Amino acid sequence: MEFSAEQIAGILEGTVEGNPDVTVSGLSKIEEGQPETLTFLANMKYEEYIYSTGASIVIVNNEFTPTKSLPKTLTLVKVEDAYSCFAKLLEVYNQMRQKQPGIEKNAHISDSAKIGDEVYIGAGAYIGDDVVIGNNVKIYPNTFIGDNVSVGDHTLIHPNVSIYHDCKIGQNCLIHAGAVIGADGFGFAPDENGEFQKVPQIGNVILEDNVDIGANSTIDRATLGSTILRKGVKIDNLVQVAHNVEIGNNSAMAAQVGIAGSTKIGKHVMVGGQAGISGHIKIADKTQIVAQSGIPGSVKRSGKTLMGSPGIEIDDFKKSYFGFRKLPYILNKLRELEEKLK
């Protein structure tokens, strides 16, 4: 798949400085640029690399003026914002790489399923009874979609995803390989003999529009009602969201976060990797939780940054940590004082 500098400038509403007919067929970092690849320069601390890069085309900001001689083989595409334009180009490139509409052999589709227009369904996919698939949906091979599931328009589901019965997936969602949506929540109750008996999990999972789910993440179905990820939520790889959790609009969770059952996460909350959040609590809007922190209780005031386990406000944590690091010194001083007192 090749693009010329002139075509790229047309997509990005930019201008060409150099050879408009030069073509590229791949992407590269500016410091690792190879012939016939495209790269960009947005952060000027990388400017030195543009004078030695092997890339054929570099996207730069309109105000960029070279301070040295550029490689003779290099063509510039000047745009208003190099970073956002490169991201736009990546999206165009990604869309062109996606599968064309059609149903491949060995896909099982129930007679009662309703399939929209311009849909791709890969080989080995299973579409259960009464499933509703919207328009322009792409379902890659070996994906399981259980009975009575609905999938909104323009959603992309990568290979080996499992979506259990009754779950609802919104429009423009992205679900990466190996994710499991709607497995049973961890519900068990001990009987009179102390043996655990399973509590049926009869709820579902709802992903609203524009939700991203990372590879091998798990979103458990509710015991009753719904586990809900609101519009714009972004979940990284290897994240566990337990039964009856609700995550507010445009919140984001990094890899290996674990959220226990029935916790309510506010809007615009950001959680760093490997953080753990206890069950049956509430996290206020715009809370930020630093990686590897533990949150055992509700966070009632919005906009706080928490660190540590149990999580406390980050400035308090830093002061406490400073004291903790000096603890051996303090203990030695105490021993010296004890000896003097004796």
Contacts 24+ apart (CB under 8 A), 169-173: 169/207, 170/206, 170/207, 170/208, 170/209, 170/210, 170/211, 170/231, 171/134, 171/209, 171/210, 172/209, 172/210, 173/207, 173/209, 173/210, 173/211, 173/212, 173/213
Domain carrying residue 246: 102-317
pLDDT band at residue 324, thresholds of 50, 70 and 90? confident
In this structure, is residue 340 part of a structural domain? no
pLDDT in tens, 15-51: 999 999 999 998 999 999 999 999 999 999 999 999 9
pLDDT in tens, 122-147: 999 999 999 999 999 999 999 999 99
Catalytic residue status for 243: yes
User: Is residue 279, in this structure, part of any structural domain at all?
Assistant: yes
Q: Read off the CATH number of the domain in which 235 is found.
A: 2.160.10.10
Same-domain check for residues 163 and 262: yes
List, for residues 187-246, the tens digit of each pLDDT value: 999 999 999 999 999 999 999 999 999 999 999 999 999 999 999 999 999 999 999 999
- Picking from 142, 139, 112, the residue whose alpha carbon sits closest to that of residue 128 is 112
227 shares a domain with 163: yes
Residues 143 and 284 in one domain: yes
User: Active-site residue among 154, 243, 268, 280?
Assistant: 243
Q: Are residues 90 and 114 in the same domain?
A: no
Whether 14 and 121 map to the same domain: the answer is no
The pLDDT, as a whole number, for residue 235 is: 98
If asked whether residues 264 and 137 sit together in one domain, one would say yes
pTM for the full predicted model: 0.83
Average per-residue pLDDT in the chain?
Answer: 95
Residue 204 lies in a domain: yes
CATH number at residue 73: 3.40.1390.10
Q: Is 322 part of any domain?
A: no
Structural domain ending residue among the three candidates 69, 97, 125: 97
Same domain, 212 and 290: yes
In a domain, 338, yes or no: no
pLDDT average, residue stretch 98-105:
89
Instruction: With beta carbons less than 8 A apart as the criterion, state whether 179 and 159 touch.
Output: no
